[in-house]
Structure 1
Amino acid sequence: MARTFAQLLDTLRSLGGDFTDVEVKSAAGGLPESLTSTLSALANQPGGGTIVLGLDENRGFRPVGLTNTQELKQGLAKKARAFTPPIRLTIADETVEGQPVVMAIVHECDESAKPCRISATGAAFMRGYDGDFKMSALEEQAFLSARNPPMFDRAPVLGATRAELDDQLVEDFTRNVQDRDRNGLGRFSGDELLRRAGALTADGIPTVAGLLALGIYPQEWLPRYVIQAAAEPLATDRPGTRARNQVTISGPIPRMLDAALDWARQTFDTAIVSQRDGTVVDVPAYPLAAFRELIANALLHRDLDSWSAGMAIEVRLRRDRLVVTNPGGLYGITLDRLGKEAVTSARNMWLVKICQYLRSPESGGRVIEALATGIPTITEALDAAGLPPAQYADSGIRFTVVLKTGTYTGAPQVGSKADLIGHTPAQTDRPTLNSTQQKIADLLAEGPATVPELQATVGLSAQGIRKALNGMRQAGWVEQVGGAGRRTTYRLTK
C-alpha cells in the first residue's frame, strides 16, 4: 500500500529504526557509498523501496539540516545509471520540522532483468530487515530461473507495413514451416501463418522479430541493429591507419549472417595448406564454423530493450585475438553453465522461433537449430583447429567472446589432413594431438572402444568423435577394426 511521507515518518519513529523497504541516511557529509548496495537490494526487492536522506536515526529521525539537496539528488540519479539494468528513481523534496529532506522511491527492477547488478563489479544484493546482503550463486540462479521472458521482440514496429517483408525470405520461411511442422504451425498459410508465428500483429503490422528476420531493410526502423566489424592495422599498413576492412553490416538476419562470413573470409589471415590428396586450400586463422555460431548467437540473443537501442554488435579482429561483443548479458543461464548443459534459453523467443525455419540465402544452411548446439559447435571447431577454448565474459549489459590464436609447433593440426607448405614433417613423425584427440588416445590406451563408448566419456557428439578419430587414423595414431555391417571399434596402433 502506498504511504505518504508523513505516514512513513510516523512508522519510522514508532519502530525506532528503518526497515526492509526503507533506508534512512543522514547524508550530512554527502551521499554515502553504502547506498550502492542498497540501491541494488531495493531494486531486487518485490515492490522496490524508499531511500530517505537528511534524517538522523540516532536522534529519533530528526532532520540534520541539509544544505546540498540538489547535489544529493544529482548524485542519486548518477548512481542509478551505474546498474544493470539502470535503476528507475522517483526523487522528491520533502520537509521535516521546516528542514529539507530528500526522498527517493526505488522502483522494482523488471522481473525479466533481475537480479539488478552493480555494473562495475557484477555484484547483486538482497535486502534484509535492516541491511543489504550480497546474493549467493544459488540466490542469483533463483532470480534467473524466475525471470519472465522479455517480449521486446513481439512489439509492433510502428510505421512499418506488411510490404516491408522480403518476399523471398517469407517464401522460404513458409516452405520450411510447412515441411517441418506440417501438423502445427504449418497448417496455416499467408499472413495468418505470419501472425501465428509472431512476425505480424493481429493488425498486420510487422513485429520487431518479423522485421529483423524477414524484413527487406530492418535498419530503417532499428538503425543500430547492425554488425560493426573491423580489423586492427597490420605493421605493414601506412602510418596513421586506424583500421582495415571496416564495415557496417545491415539487412535481415539471414543476409547479415552471410555478409559477416564474407567479411571473415576476406579479413582473417590464412595459411596455404597442402592436403594429402595433393590439393591446396586456404585455412583461416579462426574456424569459420565457430565464427558463424558466434555471430548467429549475437544476432539472435542481443538485447532489444530501449536501453540498448543505440548499441551495435561489434566484431574486432586484433593481431592475436578475435573479439565479438553484443548488447545484453546472458538470459536464463549463468556463465558457469554455458555450453555444459543442453539448455535452450532464448531472450528473444519469437525471433528464435522464426529464424529456426530460415535458411541462408547464399549457402542454403539453416540460420539456427535452436537445440543449444552453438557453444559445443564452437568448442569442437576450435579444438579441431588446435586453438585455445573460447573465453566468455558476461558483464550484465554486454556479452563478450574472445577467440585467441594458437601457437604453431611445426606440425600440422591433426584432423585437417594437411601439412603446411614448407613445413612438412618427416614421414616417421606423427603430428601432435589436440586436446580432444589426447582424451581419446588416453581412453584407447585402456583398450579398444566404439564411438558411443568414447562419446559417453569425452562428451562430444558422435560426429565430433568420428572427425577426431579420422584425423588420428590419417596421422597413424589409431586403426579401425570391423565396419561394413560389423561392430566397429578403434584401437591405438603399435
Structure 2
Amino acid sequence: MWTDDDIGRVLERLRRQGNDDGRFEAKSCTTDIGNSVWESVSAFANTSGGTLLLGISEKDGFRPVDGFDQNRIVSKLMEGMGDGNPQGARLTNPPEYEIARCEYDGRPFLVVDIHENPVEDKPCYVTAKGPKSGGYRRMDDKDIRLTATEVFEFENATLPSPADRGIVPEATTADLNDEAVERIITVHEGSKALRGTTSRAERMARLNMTDNSGRIRLAGLLAAGQYPQQYYPKLLIDVSVHPDIRKSDPDGPRFVDRVLCDGNMPEAIDQAVETVAKNLRSPTFVVGAGARTDTEIPKEVLREAIANAVIHREYDSRFTGESVAVDVYPDRVEVSNPGGLWGGVTLETIANGISRCRNTTLVQLMHRIPYSREGAVTVEGGGTGIPLIIREMASRALGAPKFEAGPDRFKVTLARYGVEYQRNRQWLENLQVGLDRYEQTIILLLRQRGAMTVGQLHASLRIDSDDIRRILTGLVDKELVQLVGGAYMLIDGGERPIGSEPSACVQVNGLSMAERELLEALSSSKTLSAREIVEMTGRGLPSVRKLLRGLIAAGLVTATAPPSSRNRRYRLASYARR
C-alpha cells in the first residue's frame, strides 16, 4: 500500500515533469466521478496497469483539491467497478484494484492502483459505449480509444483462428505449385496423417491444403502456392534497408534497398533472409591458422524471427492488407507483423518453450517443409524459436532481442554487432580452451556484465537453472570462472593466462557446488531470508531450504528463529571459512 511519503515523491516528480504519464493519472473529481475516470480505468486495464490519483488537480500543480470527499468518491468508485451493486457497474470486465487513503499538505486524496486485466478479460470498456467506442489503451499520458483491429484481437486472443482454414474463392489446384505440394506430401509419407488415402486429391485434403471438395484453403495457398499475391497482394515480406537509424526523412533517400519477398511463404522467408543477410556486415575472424566469415546476425536467428512473424501473424480479413515488415537499420533489424500475442502468451512467458499458435493449419503445413540450402525445415515448431533467438543473440554477448507487443502488432528487434562480434570471437580464440556453444555464451555474458548469479543467467538465456550450474561447474574446473559473493565472474576479468593460479573461491572442503553457492551468498554480518537466497542463487525454495538444513547441521550457517517462524533468516556462522 502507498504511504504519504511515497506518494508525495510521485507528486513532486509529476510536478517537475508538468504532466501525467503512462503510470499515473490525476483526476480532480471533488464529489463525483466523471467519464474520464472510467476511460482511464479502461486504458490501464487494457495496457499494463496504472495508478489513479483521485482528488489531485493537474492544473494546480498536482496538489489536492479543496473539498475532496474521500468517502463519497470511494463509494462511487466501488459502485462503478460493480462491487456490492452490479447494476451500478460502469465497466464491462472491470479490473482488480486497491485503494489507499493518503494525505498531502494535510489534505486528503485517494491512490487507486488499477491492475492489468488477464488476456481473457480484455477489453475492459465503458459498458454504455460498447467495446468499439468505450475501450481504451494507455499511451504516455493519453487514453487512446481502441481501434477496430485492437478490439478484434482482444476478443479473439484465446480463440484459434479459422482464417488460415478459410477458402480462397477464386483459386484452383492450378494455383498450387506441384513441386511444393509433392514436397509436403513426401514428408508425411508413412505417417498416420495419410493413412487410408489413395489419391493425390485425398492427401491434399487430409493435409488441409484443400477441403474435401477440392477448394483451396488459405494455408495451402500460402504454404504451396504458385503466387498467393495474385489474390492477396500484401501477404508478403517487405524488407526495407534504411540509411539512418530512423525511418527516412521524406526529403532524403528513403531506402538503401527494398525487396518485396513474394511467392509462397517458404520461398518468401528464404528470400527475406538472404536479402537481410546481404545488407549486413560479414566480419572475418581468425580461427587457428585460417579464417572464417560470419554475418553480424546469424542466419538461423533471422530465419526464426521472420518465420515466426509469418506463421504467428493474423490472417483474418481485417489484416490481409498488411505485410510482414523487416526494417534493416545501421544498428539493428526490426521484424514486425500484424496481430498481437495469442493464446495467453505474454512478454514475460514468450520464451518458456510452450508452443501456442493461432494458425494451426498453416503451422501443420510449414513446420516440416525443408529448405534446400541449409538442410533444415522452414519452421521448427514446438516453441523452440524464441529461445533459440535469445540464446544465439546472447552467445555474441551483444544485447538480448527486444520484444514489443501491442494489441494488434508484434515486433522483435535484433541488435547488429559491427566489429564487436569479431573482437569477441578473437578473445575466445585467445583463451586456447575448447568450449562448447553454451560455455562460450556464458563466459561472453560474464565478460560483458562482470558478474552474474545463476538466476540472472537463467533470465538472460532461458536455459534451465540446473543446466546453467552444470556449465558453470565445467567453467570453474577449467579455471575460467570463479564464484564470489553468490555470483559468478571471470577469473581476473578473463585476461588471466591459461594455466596460472586462479583467484581464491570457496575454500570449504567436502561440500557440493550447491552448498558452496549458498555459502557464497551468505554473510556473517547480514541476514537473508530463504526467498532472498532463492533470488540470489536461482534455486527453487524447497532445494534452498534443504541445503540450509544441511549447512546448519554442519555448523556453517546459523538461523535467527525456529523453523516454524515466518521471520526466520540466515547468516554465515562466524567461524565458517569460505
Q: TM-score range by the shorter chain?
A: 0.5 to 0.7
Instruction: Decide whether aligned partners of structure 1 residues 306 and 171 sit closer, same or farther in structure 2, where only a CA change above 3 A counts.
Output: same
Distance 2:311 2:39 in 1: 33
Shift of the 327–34 alpha-carbon distance from structure 1 to 2, 3 Å rule, reads same
Residues 54-453 of structure 1 mapped to structure 2, 5 A cutoff: 106=130, 118-121=136-139, 147-179=158-190, 182-185=191-194, 187-188=196-197, 189-233=199-243, 240-278=252-290, 280-406=291-417, 412-414=423-425, 436-437=442-443
SS in 2 for 1:325: strand
User: For the structure 1 residues 186 and 301, does the alpha-carbon distance in structure 2 shift closer, same or farther, using more than 3 Å as the test?
Assistant: farther
Could you report, residue by residue, the CA deviation over 1:162-208 in whole angstroms, capped at 9, with x for unpaired residues? 111111111110110115xx233455351212212221022211111
Q: For 1:108 and 1:234, locate their aligned partners in 2 and report how far apart those are by CA, in whole Å.
A: 37
- Classify the secondary structure of the residue corresponding to 1:270: coil
Shift of 1:42: 13
Counterpart contact for 1:286–1:405, Cα < 8 Å: yes
d(CA) in 1 for partners of 2:328, 2:446:
33
User: Separation in 2 of the partners of 1:266 and 1:341?
Assistant: 32
Please give the per-residue CA displacement for 1:20-78, whole angstroms capped at 9, x wherever unaligned.
xxxxxxxxxxx9545646988999xxxxxxxxxxxxx99xxxxxxxxxxxxxxxxxxxx
Change (3 A) 1:440 1:477: farther
Structure 1: distance between partners of 2:287 and 2:428: 4
Corresponding residue SS for 1:412:
helix
Cα pair 1:264 1:288 within 8 Å, conserved: no
Does the Cα contact within 8 Å between 2:238 and 2:261 map onto a contact in 1?
A: yes
Q: Tell me the percent identity.
A: 23
What do residues 469-488 of structure 1 show as CA deviations (whole Å, max 9, x unaligned)? 99x89x9979xxxxxxxxxx
Q: 1:3 — aligned with what?
A: none
- Cα shift at 1:333: 3.2
Tell me the alpha carbon deviations over residues 370-398 of structure 1, each in whole angstroms, 9 at most, x when there is no partner.
Answer: 11100111012112222211010101110
Does the CA contact (< 8 Å) of 2:183 and 2:369 recur in 1?
A: yes
For 1:252, give the aligned amino acid: N
Distance 1:306 1:377, change over 3 A: same
SS in structure 2 opposite 1:400? strand
Secondary structure class of the residue paired with 2:412:
strand
| TM-score normalised by structure 2 residue count | 0.51
1:359 is displaced (CA, Å) by 1.2
Q: How many residues align?
A: 346
Q: Which SS does the other structure have where 1:248 is aligned?
A: strand
Gaps of 5+ in 1: 1-30, 44-56, 59-83, 90-102, 110-115, 126-142, 420-424, 447-454, 479-494
| TM-aligned CA distance change 1:456 to 1:230, over 3 Å | closer
2: CA distance, partners of 1:145 / 1:152:
12
Q: What is the CA deviation profile of residues 238-270 of structure 1, one whole-angstrom value per residue up to 9, with x for unaligned ones?
A: x94221121111111110111012102211122
The question of whether the paired residues in 2 share the 8 Å contact of 1:391 and 1:403 is answered with: yes
Q: Is the 8 A contact 1:197 1:354 kept in 2?
A: yes
Q: Which of structures 1 and 2 has the larger relative contact order (alpha carbons within 8 angstroms, sep 6+)?
A: 1
Question: Structure 1 residue 360: deviation in Å?
Answer: 1.4
What's the offset of the Cα at 1:435?
Answer: 5.3
Give, in whole Å, the separation in 2 of the partners of 1:233 and 1:265: 16
Cα separation, 2, equivalents of 1:273 and 1:194: 48
CA distance in 1, matches of 2:189, 2:254: 49
SS in structure 2 opposite 1:413?
helix
What are the residue-to-residue correspondences of 1:460-479 with 2, within 5 Å?
none
User: Which amino acid is the alignment partner of residue 136 of structure 2?
Assistant: I
The Cα of 1:344 is off from its aligned counterpart by: 0.8
Contact 1:157 1:205 in 2 (8 A): yes
Cα shift at 1:151? 0.6
Contact kept, 8 Å, 1:122 with 1:396, in 2: the verdict is: no
Describe the SS at the equivalent of 2:355: coil
Q: 1:457 is aligned with what amino acid?
A: S
Unpaired stretches in structure 2, ≥5 consecutive residues:
1-33, 47-86, 89-120, 144-153, 455-462, 482-494, 500-578
Structure-1-length-normalised TM-score: 0.58
